Amino acid sequence: MDLTADDLPASVPHPAQPPLPARVKESLLEGLPAEAVLTDPEVTASYATDMATFCPAGTPAAVVLPRTVEQVQHVLRTATALRVPVVPQGARTGLSGAANATDGCIVLSLIRMDRILEIDTVDRIAVVEPGVVNAVLSRAVAEHGLYYPPDPSSWEQCTIGGNIGTGSGGLCCVKYGVTAEYVLGLDVVLADGRLLRTGRRTAKGVAGYDLTRLFTGSEGTLGVVVRAVLGLRPALLPQLALAAEFPSAAAACAAVCAVMEAGLTPSLLELMDRTTVRAVNALGRMGLPETTEALLLAAFDTPQAPGDLAALARLCTAAGATAVVPAEDPTESELLLRARRMSLTALEALRPATMIDDVCVPRSRLAEMLDGTSAIARTHDLLIGVCAHAGDGNTHPVVCFDPADPDETRRARASFDAIMELGLELGGTITGEHGVGVLKKEWLARELGPVGLEMQRAVKWAFDPLGLLNPGKLC
């Protein structure tokens, strides 16, 4: 009879097995073309991290770039058979380390799965693969008179799969909401290679547990999204915007509260502090007023926009605005919005490195969050600029520092933690749209508490009992 290696007595040498990285490559190539499997260390190292700082990363055994669902299934089956971790990735524009590699893992890059499969103007949905870039989808649906609202600042680079993985938001979320509200259904490859379909194409449906919402924001820890059904809206009118200057962050936040309390619904309500305004001017020569302590940008996208802007301007003036300047037309409005989109890049240009926080607080506590962040900057003697989705309380304090200076690096890390602690003290959350990843894993435990964390881990075990999917992330 035929003997297997396990049938051999201990005194008989077992047949030599190839080293694990070689076995991984051999197994992957059984179901993937050679050009889809990268193992050159110099190449794989370039896939090791996203854009976050202070996040550890390992060395991948291989990087795989599949083009089909079947190829993704083969990768997951191979990983399960060999007990190799898998780290799903999109464009790696994330800011929490969620896409960082672990030692010996297979990096599963989905950027080549970039087809828009369907745009349905009657049901107002788009069906897309995960590697579709957000801006590409937005422009494609616009050609059909439709609109995909989620618009992260990195929309020209970030992918829909990454947006789903982190539950990202954007500048227009004050009126239109975040990614989770537009994901109607998903095709997900599970850890063992099975294909799961969640959700629906219909306008409503409540059959069973909402697994679609569960996967949205799960950062690749429960399964790999390979297809998404996304809700669309009718195309919007061009936005009309204004800029309001304030002598303090508190005054600007008072205006935000007044706008929301008055029942106005701006399509955008964004805040930039003095540091951010100066950084944007330095990078883009935008001509924003550098004497302001806080600049509030607001926009409306309805036929009533001129009247709504006038009402908002009155509220800003009553709250203490020193100047309120409406844009003359949609083109000028777009320039103001471009300045806001430039904020993070501009702050990154101030120092060799940045840590970008993502703390969301109740709108009523927004002023305390901004003033508290300023106090933290003074305490740690650091440059911290703040830009915010003021309409929903989501702040992005950006800690600027020099990683070559050990003491400054220590202070940067301490200030980052102090900002998150402040957010929790104000009844907020450690992340509104960037995700947890590696960067905020310890803080997630503080926010959820022991029972919440236990339930999170139970969900993880149900979908990934071997712990192979994006290990070390989230909980």
Mean pLDDT for 85-106 is 96
- The reply to whether 394 falls in a domain is no
Distances in Å between the Cα of 295 and the Cα atoms of 199, 218, 290, 377 are 41, 34, 9, 19
* Pair (104, 180) in one structural domain: no
Q: Is 101 exposed, middle or buried (0-12, 13-18, 19+ CB in 10 A)?
A: buried
Q: Which helix (H) or strand (E) holds 59?
A: none
Q: What share of the chain is helix, strand, coil (3-state, %, to 5)?
A: 40, 20, 40
The pLDDT value recorded for residue 380 is: 98
- 27 and 88, same domain (yes or no): yes
Domain harbouring 249, CATH code: 3.30.70.2190
Percent of the chain with pLDDT over 90: 86
Mean local confidence (pLDDT), 231-252: 95
Checking if the pLDDT of 337 tops 60, the result is yes
Task: Select from 109, 128, 160 the last residue of a domain.
Answer: 109
- Give CA–CA dist 86/107, Å, rounded: 6
Q: Is the pLDDT of residue 5 over 70?
A: no
Q: Establish if 376 belongs to a structural domain.
A: no
pLDDT, mean of residues 440-468 = 96
Mean pLDDT of the chain: 93
The answer to whether position 32 is within a domain reads: yes
Do 247 and 216 have their domain in common?
Answer: no
pLDDT-wise least confident of 157-161, 325-329, 402-406: 325-329
- Is residue 39, in this structure, part of any structural domain at all? yes
Domain membership of residue 151 (yes or no) is yes
Same domain, 90 and 166: no
Residue 222 lies in a domain: yes
SS3 195: strand
Question: What is the structure's pLDDT at 153?
Answer: 84
34/156 Cα distance (integer angstroms):
29
Write the CATH number for 219: 3.30.465.10
User: Domain range spanning residue 205?
Assistant: 116-234
Q: What average pLDDT does range 45-49 have in this prediction?
A: 96
Whether the pLDDT of residue 212 is over 90: the answer is yes
pLDDT for position 474: 86
Please give the pLDDT value at position 18. Answer: 56
Taking residues 331-349, report their average pLDDT: 90
pLDDT given at position 170: 85
In this structure, the answer to whether residues 71 and 124 fall within a common structural domain is: no
Q: Give the DSSP letter string of 123-156.
A: TTEEEE-TT-BHHHHHHHHHTTTEE-----TTTT
* Residues 199, 97 share a domain: no
- The dihedral over CA atoms of 76, 45, 215, 112, expressed in degrees to the nearest 10, equals -70
Per the structure, how many domains does the chain have? 3
Confidence of residue 19 (pLDDT cuts 50, 70, 90): low
Q: Among 65, 83, 109, which residue terminates a domain? A: 109
Q: How confident is the model at residue 382 (pLDDT cuts 50, 70, 90)?
A: very high
CB neighbours of residue 468 within 10 Å: 21
Confidence of residue 8 (pLDDT cuts 50, 70, 90): very low
pLDDT band (50, 70, 90) for residue 54:
confident
Q: Within this chain, do residues 52 and 155 fall inside the same structural domain, yes or no?
A: no
Does 34 map to a domain?
yes
Residue-level pLDDT at 13: 43
